[in-house]
Chains A and B, each alone.
Chain A
Amino acid sequence: MSPDAGTPTRLVRTNEDDDAFRSALIKLIPHMRAFARSLCGDATIADDLAQDAMVKAWGARASFQPGTNMKAWSFMILRNQFYSDKRRSWRETQLDQEAAERTLVAVDDPAAPLALDEMRMALAMLPAEQREALILVGAGGFAYDEVAAICGCAVGTAKSRVSRARRALHEILLSGAYERDGRPASDAMAAILSEAERLKHAL
């Protein structure tokens, strides 16, 4: 509604705009890969997803508002891509618990500590919407309103998903409800408890 003269919106993107956007996008790639891995687990599928999202983000660069959170913006694109791929390929079968575990358990780094592996398995047992909300807050460092924007839900919903996820994850780790190579896994909770001890002494 503002008159053409004096409007701060530039209608023509300059090469400098694109260069700045490209540099920022390249810096976000490691984070997009991590978020993709947490959504679909399998490292190869996750990289395909992150690459698709990166190309989408590049193509949509004109719609990005400079000064807003580009990480949240790129994660929203990635998440939308993930769910639209999922709708396309898994239209008939809901992702079942077993499949979720199979993929989320995949670890790229064979030297990854056992406890992290078990954390992945415990995460795999959470409903997808709780898992993604917890990862965004707990690992991605997003605020609840940003999580709400990324996941397309209300801020209150984001908060309650995170808090339910936290409680459920604690329960799962405590009970050792998952198994590893046929034996109950308790190493993850032991690691959590020793980490809690360490934090206590660090206070």
Chain B
Amino acid sequence: MIDHRPRTEHQQATAAFDEGHLRQQAIGVRLRQMFDAVVNEEVPDEFLEILRRADQRGSEPG
């Protein structure tokens, strides 16, 4: 008659914690994917061109 619950309160709390933890990990995975998508883009040539110009300016006397 007694609805026997195999999980104690502690176990339930632990499961809830694990679930929350997994969700946060999953959000972390998405965040990294979003960031890495930009990291993996090809860097526009402009960047190296601008750095080269800054470099030359820096080495000029005066």
- A, B in one complex: yes
Q: Which residues of A are at the interface with B, using a C-beta cutoff of 8 A?
A: 18, 22, 25-26, 29-31, 33-34, 37-38, 47, 50-51, 54-55, 58-59, 108-109, 112, 115-116, 119-120, 134-135, 138-140, 166, 169-170, 173, 188, 191-193, 195-196, 198-200
Q: In the assembled complex, how far is the CB of residue B37 from the closest CB belonging to chain A, in whole angstroms? A: 6
Other-chain residue from A38, A135, A193 in contact with B23 (beta carbon distance below 8 A): A193
| Cβ of B14 under 8 Å from chain A | no
B47 cross-chain contacts in A, Cβ below 8 A:
29, 47, 50-51, 54
A38 cross-chain contacts in B, Cβ below 8 A:
34-35, 38
CA distance A58 to B48 in the complex (A): 12
Other-chain residue from A29, A119, A170 in contact with B43 (beta carbon distance below 8 A): A29
Secondary structure call for the B interface: helix
A55 cross-chain contacts in B, Cβ below 8 A:
50-51, 54
| Contact indicator A173/B51 (Cβ below 8 Å) | no
